[in-house]
Structure 1
Amino acid sequence: MEEELDIWRTNRKNLQGFLHAFDAGQLNRVPDGFSNNLIWNLGHILVVQQLLVYGLSGQVLHIPQELIPKYQRGSRPEGDVGQEEIALIGKLLADTVPLLEEDIRENRFGTFRPFTNSAGFRITDLPQAVAFNNFHEGLHLGYMMSIRKLV
């Protein structure tokens, strides 16, 4: 699973670059033809990773509960996200990487509730959750690369 974590670490650094490259107005802008924006994608990536890896393992999430309805699957941006929440998302994108690595090292994950997502991917254990999360984050990085050209 170390290779998957290496990919994840690198992808998270790429994602955090958006927070440094764009101001709050750009992060919040929903371009024509899109249903979300850069900051929503970052929040969504964070929430889905926590729900996939920690939620399906019956563990406590490392994010505030109020972020879940705002960024979970099926949600959309509902107004501008303020600088405080942008900073929180950036901090959590960084902080959740060493937390997961430590939790894996300390063998804190036990039972895993199998899950089949809407695309038909069946996730039955932690390594599959980490692998699928990388796929999911990469997909949203691609969306963000398209959005960045329009903001």
Structure 2
Amino acid sequence: MDYSQFAKQLEITRGNLYNVLESVSETSADNQPAGFSNTIRWNVGHILTVAEMFIFNDRQTSGLPKDYNNLFAPGTKPSDWTGESILLATLLAQLHDQAVRIKQHVEIRCGETLPEPLKLGPFLQLNSMGEVCHLALFHEAMHTGFIHALKRIV
């Protein structure tokens, strides 16, 4: 995998996410229109949490607060949350911080084969850091699309 191409694609993908979040208010971040299973805030936290899981091969997401797994991991939903919401400004700052950490991590490990394959369901297995990086970018872009749609409806 070419690190510079990955870094550029991450900048484009995260940049698109930052742009769509610029005009999202705290109130609209929690609206869940009919037909959607989550909110803008959940999608942002989910992008953070899953990127941490994929890129750092860290199921405990140690680069983020411990409660993020319970709030944003696959299968979670905002209707199960209790307590205060995490501010969008906090999530945005964490996205910026994470992008720096991802670039540093991937630059060192971009050509590596994973010590153990990352299995995602019964039919998908990733064997290299490059494969993981591509999936992480795809996942982030897909959820950014959901955020665009939610933003238009909300």
Shorter-chain TM-score bucket reads 0.7 to 0.9
User: Which residue type is aligned with residue 141 of structure 1?
Assistant: T
The normalised TM-score by structure 2 is 0.83
Q: CA RMSD in A?
A: 2.7
For 1:100, the equivalent position in structure 2 comes to 102
Task: Report percent identity of matched pairs.
Answer: 20
Equivalents in 2 of 1:126, 1:89: separation in Å?
A: 25
1:28–1:39 CA contact under 8 A, matched in 2: yes
Q: Does 1:52 align with 2:54?
A: yes
For 1:74, the equivalent position in structure 2 comes to 75
For 1:14, the equivalent position in structure 2 comes to 16
Equivalents in 2 of 1:60, 1:146: separation in Å?
A: 27
Say if 1:18 and 1:9 are closer, same or farther in 2 by CA, change over 3 A: same
For 2:150, the equivalent position in structure 1 comes to 147
User: Which residue type is aligned with residue 70 of structure 1?
Assistant: L
Equivalents in 1 of 2:83, 2:74: separation in Å?
A: 18
User: Which residue type is aligned with residue 126 of structure 1?
Assistant: M
Equivalents in 1 of 2:140, 2:22: separation in Å?
A: 18
2:60–2:66 CA contact under 8 A, matched in 1: no
Say if 1:32 and 1:61 are closer, same or farther in 2 by CA, change over 3 A: same
2:116–2:127 CA contact under 8 A, matched in 1: yes
1:44–1:72 CA contact under 8 A, matched in 2: yes
Q: Where does the alignment leave 5 or more consecutive residues of structure 2 unmatched?
A: none
User: Which residue type is aligned with residue 65 of structure 2?
Assistant: P
Say if 1:119 and 1:16 are closer, same or farther in 2 by CA, change over 3 A: farther
Structure number with higher strand proportion: 2
Deviations 1:63-101 (A, max 9, x none): 111111100000111358857532221111111111121
Deviations 1:31-88 (A, max 9, x none): 11111011110100000000111125x9973211111110000011135885753222
Say if 1:63 and 1:26 are closer, same or farther in 2 by CA, change over 3 A: same
Q: Where does the alignment leave 5 or more consecutive residues of structure 1 unmatched?
A: none
Question: Which stretch has the larger CA shift, 11-20 or 139-148?
Answer: 11-20
Q: Does 1:137 align with 2:140?
A: yes
Aligned length in residues: 150
